[in-house]
Each structure stands twice: as structure tokens, then as C-alpha cells.
């Protein structure tokens, strides 16, 4: 009898240890702190590195996988204990479809959302930044606005041009819909040829992103959390 009780306690301890290791691994690999404290009043979603979509990136590339982000957003939306979401961005961009899909999910959430660009919000990172109900950028952070581009094999036919054109229209429409920038200004930034080395587009630093209406306010983590708490109280 005592042996059975002892074995039962050992099994339970091993299960608890295994569950704890799984949670630690999740935080390490995904940055998913919601597993450690799922009922925290404010949840933090970090989007860093390159946005990985349908193609798997090399293992040495720092990446945010969209199949990891989507379940987290759904869990946060349906958890009554979570009152707000802070999105922390430092991304070079990546898969357009995946980034735009995540952006639409964030925008459709019923709970207050605030984003903050802390290093860079480049390429598809722009709609990710504007997807929140209110956006911040730190003074030294940068945002690069440029047209949709593609590496690798491209079929040189008119249908390819139309495909890229429609994709660009989707991205532009989302940015204009979720920020205060005008379509004419956005297109002008995208087509500038003297801003970036060997590329078309514009780099906006800190306050420049606010002055053009792309981001709502310059600030840091303190300002972002204060704004999110304000939304929660309202």
C-alpha cells in the first residue's frame, strides 16, 4: 500500500515537472508568457525578427511564426481574465499574407490593444503596428515603408503584375484604414528612390512616423501601458 502511494506521488511529481518544462520551453521558443500566467490582466505579444508564413525559414533566422501567434490571439480574446493586449514589435517584415492575416486578427479583437515599435517595424511590420487601437514608437525606432517585393522565381506575365498590384492595394488599404496617414502620402513614401540604398521606399524615424499620421504617439513602455490601462478603465 505504501509502495503504491509512493509511486503515485512520484508519478505526479514527474508530471508536474514535465508540465513546467513544457511551459518554460514555450516561453523560450515562442515568447508565450500566457502559458505561465494565463489570467494576467494584460497579456504581452512579442513580434520579433522575420514573420514566417507558409515557407519555413532557415533555423539561424530569428522569426515569429504565424501559426504560433494565431492561437495566442484566440486564447487572449476568449479569456475573460485578460483585459488588454500589448503588442511589442521589432521586426524586419516577412511573409505578406501571414503578416496581414495577423494584423486583421489583432484589429478585430474586442479587447483594448496597444502596439509599440521598439526597434523597427519594417515592411509588413507597418500594418502590424497600425493594427492596434493605439500605436506607439520609441524615439530611436525606425519604420521602413516600401512596395511589396518578392525573391526567387517570378513568372514574367501580366497576371504577375496584377497579383502584386492587388496585394499592394490590400496592404495600403489596411494601413490607411487603421492609421491617420493619407493614401497619397503612403504611396509617395513607397515610391521614393533616394531614401534607401538599392531599394525603393522611405525610412521613418520615431517622430517622423507620428508626424505623417502612420503612428499615433512617440513613447515607451510606460506610456504604452498607461494608455492600455486607460482603455481598460473606459
For residues 122 and 159, the answer to whether their CB atoms sit within 8 Å is: no
CA angle 34, 36, 38 (to 5 degrees): 45
Pairing relationship of beta strands 142-145 and 202-205 according to DSSP bridges: antiparallel
User: Smallest Cα–Cα separation from 145: which of 128, 126, 130, 132?
Assistant: 126
Among the listed residues 46, 135, 146, 179, the single catalytic one is: 146
Phi first, then psi: give them for residue 199, nearest 5 degrees: -155, 165
Q: 99 and 57 in contact (C-beta within 8 Å)?
A: no
Contact 115, 89 (CB under 8 A): yes
- Among 123, 131, 135, 179, the active-site one is 123
In whole angstroms, what is the distance from residue 116 CA to residue 131 CA? 11
Beta strands in 54-179 (DSSP E): 63-65, 84-94, 113-121, 134-137, 142-145
Q: Is 54 a catalytic residue?
A: no
Catalytic residue ranges: 123, 146
Amino acid at each position: 500500500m505504501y509502495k503504491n502511494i509512493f509511486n503515485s506521488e512520484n508519478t505526479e511529481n514527474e508530471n508536474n515537472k514535465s508540465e513546467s518544462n513544457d511551459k518554460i520551453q514555450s516561453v523560450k521558443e515562442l515568447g508565450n508568457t500566457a502559458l505561465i500566467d494565463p489570467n494576467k490582466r494584460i497579456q504581452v505579444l512579442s513580434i520579433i525578427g522575420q514573420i514566417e508564413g507558409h515557407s519555413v525559414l532557415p533555423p539561424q533566422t530569428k522569426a515569429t511564426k504565424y501559426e504560433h501567434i494565431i492561437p495566442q490571439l484566440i486564447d487572449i480574446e476568449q479569456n475573460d481574465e485578460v483585459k488588454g493586449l500589448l503588442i511589442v514589435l521589432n521586426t524586419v517584415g516577412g511573409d505578406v499574407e501571414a503578416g496581414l492575416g495577423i494584423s486583421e486578427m489583432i484589429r478585430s479583437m474586442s479587447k483594448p490593444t496597444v502596439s509599440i515599435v521598439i526597434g523597427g517595424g519594417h515592411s509588413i511590420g507597418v500594418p502590424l503596428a497600425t493594427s492596434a487601437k493605439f500605436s506607439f514608437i520609441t524615439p530611436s525606432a525606425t519604420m521602413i515603408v516600401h512596395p511589396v517585393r518578392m525573391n526567387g522565381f517570378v513568372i514574367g506575365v501580366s497576371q504577375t503584375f496584377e497579383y502584386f498590384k492587388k496585394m499592394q492595394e490590400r496592404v495600403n488599404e489596411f494601413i490607411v484604414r487603421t492609421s491617420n496617414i493619407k493614401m497619397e502620402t503612403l504611396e509617395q513614401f513607397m515610391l521614393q528612390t533616394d531614401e534607401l540604398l538599392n531599394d525603393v521606399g522611405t525610412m521613418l524615424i520615431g517622430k517622423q512616423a507620428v508626424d505623417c499620421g502612420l503612428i499615433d504617439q512617440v513613447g515607451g513602455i510606460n506610456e504604452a501601458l498607461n494608455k492600455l490601462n486607460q482603455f481598460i478603465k473606459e
